[in-house]
Amino acid sequence: MRECLSIHVGQAGVQIGDVCWELYCLEHGIHPDGFVLDSKKDQLETTKMKYTDASFDSFFCETRAGTHVPRALFIDLEPTVIDGIRTGKYRSLFHPEQLISGKEDAANNYARGHYSVGSKIIDLVLERIRKLAKQCSGLQGFLIFRSFGGGTGSGFTSLLMEQLSIQYGRKTKLEFSVYPAPRMSSAVVEPYNSILTTHFTLEHSDCTFMVDNEALYDICHYKLGVVRPSYTIINRLIGQAVSSITASLRFEGALNVDLMEFQTNLVPYPRIHFPMTAFAPIISADNAYHRDFSVSDITAACFEFSNQLVKCDPRLGKYMACCLLYRGDVVPKDVNEAIAAMKSRTSVQFVDWCPTGFKVGINNQPLTVMPGGELAKVQRAVCMLSNTTAVAEAWARLNHKFDLMYAKRAFLHWYTREGMEEEEFSEAREDLAALEKDYEEVGQSSDGEGENECEVPRSLFNTLYSQLVEFP
């Protein structure tokens, strides 16, 4: 068995986790109390699911009583959001030890999450992770859900990932992160928190899948017709993307993709590990009966700006790698034709040093939607993870916001009084400038006069060299 542990940190991580596990339960026929559907009416359906559910134990642990408990841990430094799970519909699904909350909030402050407040519960969290890992026969890795901008999501996650690297160094660590949106923000100090956490976790995270709230709001507004979407609605959209990414880990399929394959195919250099997420088709339940989507349609839709879950225009950069994860009524022949059609488009440009470009996953389990939800149930869907140099635009945007505040040393005292040094800000900013430069360099052409320009960027070379020294 290749188990995965899901760790949900901070308000954003916990709320996304709540939606994800609700969706997983729906997909696998698990009741809110942890028991699998067992009524006579459901026996036939359960028999049909026998083989497709053969690998869902990688996400659920079956107890002696016959209940299925998620392999997950929910962490927040203040109790409000986790109390919602403790008293909610799925309160019986989780063991009480899987829900960890403190009494003092990080207050949107990276320093509180990483140093003063977060350090008080890190030992308890690591002990609970150790218990969950002990229940696994072959732990494959960790899926970490958080936001870049929050105090707990940025600060405590940085502290936690450092410890995970020390104690579980060879295990894969994939992040699902809510990235700061260009024009909307829930915190003034979001640029500080985001730059600090990116710098600190750069060497500890293997791959970080990014989404942002502004892109999700626009999708809900223009594609689903929801004028004022709630966090629940946008989290359900993220949940569908996460479900598609993890489907091959939970269901048997024609062409499965495991955790290690994601990073092997998407990450050309250790630091260049921030793929963008796209999902298609995104269509409201009201319009579902008027349209039918072919494999070519949904593949093309993933390359459209309006289907990206991050506000970042892929046309401004070049693709280094794409991972297309199909679900439902999809056959390899249609996928090959769709990919060939995309490669022939001038608007879809790949770097010249990556001739193949595409990694494909096919899973026959169709999309499952929440009853009464906004999304329509469709025959086939695809989630695309694309590592593109266009992400440099998002880093440049974030760096500029950081510079505006840091030039005046605004809000800095809130961080220094919690134990941080001012030099940490300068180091983090320099590292992000290097990351921005790395993306620029890997996108440069290796033809003609620019032959030497496509050498490994110096910061990437230093990372690779240090890893070779560490693991001879």
- According to DSSP, residue 174 is labeled E
- The answer to whether residues 443 and 350 touch, using CB atoms and an 8 Å cutoff, is no
Residues 6+ apart with CB under 8 A from 392: 317, 436, 439, 440, 443
Q: How far apart are the first and last CA of the chain?
A: 29
The residues annotated as belonging to the active site are 261
Angstrom distances, CA of residue 313 to CA of 117, 146, 383, 417, 421 = 38, 23, 17, 39, 36
Indicate the residue type of 463. T
Cα 67–chain centre separation:
28
Indicate the residue type of 240. Q
- The answer to whether residues 102 and 117 touch, using CB atoms and an 8 Å cutoff, is yes
Residue that is written with structure tokens 């998620």 in the block: 70
Cα 211–chain centre separation:
7
DSSP string, 427-450: HHHHHHHHHHHHHHHHTS--SGGG
- The answer to whether residues 313 and 341 touch, using CB atoms and an 8 Å cutoff, is no
| 3-state SS, residue 359 | strand
